[in-house]
């Protein structure tokens, strides 16, 4: 989808996001965890290379229950860069 505001629902336990499709240069997406479960974003691992996240910490970022991440797609790096969070 081309949405920029994504509400995540469904998981009944802690979950991890390793990537996201639909990236194009400059696309900004806000991922909002509405589950109450911890949501983790893994740095540069597992997913197809062009769908991966750069967390800018080199490690995994995790919300404490609900929270959100803002990501921008960097076509030069072919990665989603996390540029903000509400952990």
- The predicted-structure confidence for 1-27, as pLDDT tens digits, reads as follows 678 999 999 999 999 999 999 999 999
pLDDT at 87 over 90: no
- The predicted-structure confidence for 26-55, as pLDDT tens digits, reads as follows 999 999 999 999 999 999 999 999 999 999
Q: In terms of Cα–Cα distance, which of 72, 66, 71 is closest to 86?
A: 66
| Residue 24 burial (CB count, 10 A) | 8
pLDDT at residue number 3: 84
Q: In terms of Cα–Cα distance, which of 16, 79, 75, 85 is closest to 49?
A: 79
Q: The pTM is what?
A: 0.92
Q: Are 53 and 71 in contact (CB under 8 A)?
A: yes
pLDDT at residue number 40: 97
31 to each of 16, 24, 76, how far by Cα in Å? 12, 16, 22
Residues listed for the chain = 87
């Amino acid at each position: 989808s081309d949405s920029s505001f994504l509400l995540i629902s469904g998981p009944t336990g802690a979950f991890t996001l390793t990537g996201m499709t639909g990236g194009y240069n400059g696309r900004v997406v806000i991922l909002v965890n509405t589950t109450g479960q911890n949501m983790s974003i893994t740095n540069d691992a597992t997913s197809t290379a062009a769908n991966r996240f750069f967390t800018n910490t080199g490690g995994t970022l995790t919300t404490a229950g609900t929270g959100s991440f803002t990501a921008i797609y960097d076509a030069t790096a072919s990665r989603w860069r996390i540029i903000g969070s509400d952990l």
